[in-house]
């Protein structure tokens, strides 16, 4: 079975020959160099292209991105400069920035769907051409209302916004909801045209290891109605957003699924997010979930042996069989502390597996 067919069947809840394996979160330049044979200079001159070659060397069926470090010599998507920028935000600056944003109605009125769609499709096809037979299934982190905008304002400001400046918080979420819905409209059109895969990784980090960082009551009143609004165009074409689950999502997981989410990605066993009960969950229409995961980057991959990795991968197949549509993926990015032999063991197990 070719990669495109395998991915399409898994995303459509049709059992393929084996679970596909997704890549793109290989955040370890040394591993990429080892897999491809490139020099440090060659890698840093073009991290994207060498990341693509590493995915081919591993044998990935699809990728949700090609992870490229934020700066030369780094491996993460943030560095000291980014953290300094967040720390420099004051409450006053944050509030002024939100006040200066256009109203949600203006964001909606300014949306030039035809021009944006043409640009989106051109960029999508360009990336797919670079990937060859690996399926481009890009994540979209704007398909949510951004209840906790820590990536821009830092955690202290973002949490203060929800608790103290409710009107500003609501405006920010409504603006982000309009932007998210526009993203959903473009992707829904591309799915309807047969250009875009039917599952999209997305979500928002609003849960820590002890549960939601924002009151579930507030989320149910303000956040989840906006999330449902965003996802409506995707729901209409039968697409499945796969929700990223870092931390303990148990108190609000049913709320997420009720909004039209069709799959889950993660998970952290140490937070109670265990595949054994997750696979029994259903969408709001009663369909099985698409699962991206469940390979742990906090336990098995960094600290286990290749045999431990193989055992966890095989257990995932057994757990999902007949209950959920499994696409092998990691719970988060593969960082340099994860041994390359463990990375190879995961891909080899997936590639040699059978339902």
- The residues spanned by each domain of the chain are 89-265
Instruction: Look at residue 85 in the predicted model and tell me its pLDDT.
Output: 84
The rounded distance, in Å, linking the Cα atoms of 128 and 50 is: 15
Instruction: Answer yes or no: pTM beyond 0.85.
Output: yes
Nearest alpha carbon to residue 253 among 225, 224, 276, 296:
224
Instruction: Look at residue 137 in the predicted model and tell me its pLDDT.
Output: 98
The rounded distance, in Å, linking the Cα atoms of 117 and 119 is: 5
Which tens digit of pLDDT belongs to each residue from 143-187? 999 999 999 999 999 999 999 999 999 999 999 999 999 999 999
Instruction: Look at residue 99 in the predicted model and tell me its pLDDT.
Output: 98
Cis bond upstream, residue 21 (ω within 30): no
Question: What are the residue ranges in the chain where pLDDT is below 50?
Answer: none
Instruction: Look at residue 101 in the predicted model and tell me its pLDDT.
Output: 98
Instruction: Look at residue 79 in the predicted model and tell me its pLDDT.
Output: 74
Instruction: Look at residue 80 in the predicted model and tell me its pLDDT.
Output: 76
Q: Which two tokens stand for residue 38?
A: 């490139």
Instruction: Kindly provide the residue ranges of all beta strands, DSSP E only, lying in the chain, ordered along the sequence.
Output: 22-23, 62-63, 135-136, 199-202, 207-208, 211-212, 240-244, 263-265, 290-295, 325-330
Nearest alpha carbon to residue 332 among 277, 272, 268, 276:
268
Instruction: Look at residue 68 in the predicted model and tell me its pLDDT.
Output: 93
- Asked if 176 contacts 145 with a C-beta cutoff of 8 angstroms, the reply is yes
List Cβ<8 Å contacts ≥24 apart for 152-157: 152/86, 152/89, 153/86, 153/89, 153/94, 154/86, 154/87, 154/89, 157/89, 157/90, 157/91, 157/94
Within 10 A of 118 (CB to CB), how many other CB atoms are there?
12
Instruction: Look at residue 236 in the predicted model and tell me its pLDDT.
Output: 98
Instruction: Look at residue 86 in the predicted model and tell me its pLDDT.
Output: 85
């Amino acid at each position: 079975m070719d990669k495109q067919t395998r991915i399409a069947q898994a995303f459509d809840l049709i059992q393929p020959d084996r679970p596909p394996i997704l890549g793109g979160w290989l955040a370890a330049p040394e591993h990429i160099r080892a897999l491809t044979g490139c020099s440090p200079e060659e890698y840093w001159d073009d991290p994207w292209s060498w990341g693509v070659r590493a995915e081919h060397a591993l044998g990935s069926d699809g990728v949700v991105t090609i992870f490229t470090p934020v700066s030369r010599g780094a491996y993460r998507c943030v560095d000291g400069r980014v953290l300094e920028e967040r720390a420099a935000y004051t409450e006053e600056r944050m509030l002024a920035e939100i006040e200066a944003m256009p109203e949600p109605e203006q964001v909606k009125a300014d949306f030039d769907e035809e021009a944006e769609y043409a640009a989106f499709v051109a960029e999508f096809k360009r990336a797919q051409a670079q990937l060859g037979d690996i399926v481009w299934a890009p994540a979209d982190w704007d398909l949510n209302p951004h209840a906790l905008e820590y990536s821009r304002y830092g955690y202290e400001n973002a949490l203060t916004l929800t608790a103290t400046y409710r009107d500003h918080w609501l405006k920010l979420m409504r603006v982000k909801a309009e932007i998210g819905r526009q993203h959903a409209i473009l992707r829904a059109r591309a799915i309807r045209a047969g250009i875009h895969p039917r599952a999209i990784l997305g979500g928002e980090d609003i849960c820590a290891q002890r549960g939601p960082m924002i009151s579930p009551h507030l989320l149910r009143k303000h956040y989840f109605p906006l999330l449902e609004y965003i996802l409506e165009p995707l729901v209409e074409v039968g697409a499945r957003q796969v929700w990223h689950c870092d931390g303990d999502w148990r108190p609000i997981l049913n709320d997420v699924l009720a909004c039209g989410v069709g799959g889950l990605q993660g998970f952290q066993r140490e937070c109670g997010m265990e595949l054994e009960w997750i696979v029994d969950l259903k969408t709001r229409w009663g369909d099985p979930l698409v699962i991206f995961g469940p390979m742990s980057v906090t336990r098995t991959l960094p600290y286990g042996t290749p045999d431990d990795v193989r055992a966890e991968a095989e257990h995932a197949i057994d757990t999902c069989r007949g209950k959920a549509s499994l696409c092998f993926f990691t719970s988060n990015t593969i960082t340099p502390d994860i041994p390359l032999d463990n990375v190879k063991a995961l891909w080899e197990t997936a590639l040699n597996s059978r339902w």
